[in-house]
């Protein structure tokens, strides 16, 4: 594989990894919100707003997505540099 092909493949993989990680972490935040609301409705907790729970989850999801996507991209750069003629 040419270095350009390796970089393009790594970039696409990094975008996919970012999207998957971001989606999973955000979904976990939404699940936490639902659980806290169920507890509040059953009288075992205090009500929360969606912003109190999901906004931090979205921030974490972007941070984690960038971290893991960046690691994939960094690995692609290393492989591409080793393939230089």
What's the average model confidence in pLDDT over 49-62?
95
- Which pTM does this prediction carry? 0.85
Q: How many domains does the chain have?
A: 1
Q: What is the mean pLDDT of the chain?
A: 94
Of 7, 4, 19, the C-alpha closest to 73 is 7
When pLDDT is averaged across residues 41-55 and rounded to a whole number, the result is: 92
48-79 as b/e: b if 16+ CB within 10 A = eeeeebbeebeeebeebbeebbeebbeebeee
Question: What range does the domain containing 62 cover?
Answer: 3-82
At residue 45, the 3 state secondary structure works out as: coil
| 18-31 pLDDT, tens digit each | 999 999 999 999 99
Reported as a pLDDT band with limits 50, 70 and 90, residue 1 is confident
CA distance 27 to 58: 9
pLDDT > 80? residue 83? no
């Amino acid at each position: 594989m040419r270095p350009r092909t390796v970089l393009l493949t790594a970039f696409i993989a990094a975008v996919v990894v970012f999207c998957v990680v971001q989606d999973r972490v955000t979904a976990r935040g939404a699940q936490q919100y639902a659980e806290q609301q169920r507890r509040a409705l059953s009288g075992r907790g205090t009500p929360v707003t969606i912003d109190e729970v999901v906004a931090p989850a979205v921030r974490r999801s972007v941070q984690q997505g960038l971290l893991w996507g960046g690691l994939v991209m960094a690995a692609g750069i290393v492989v591409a540099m080793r393939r230089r003629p």
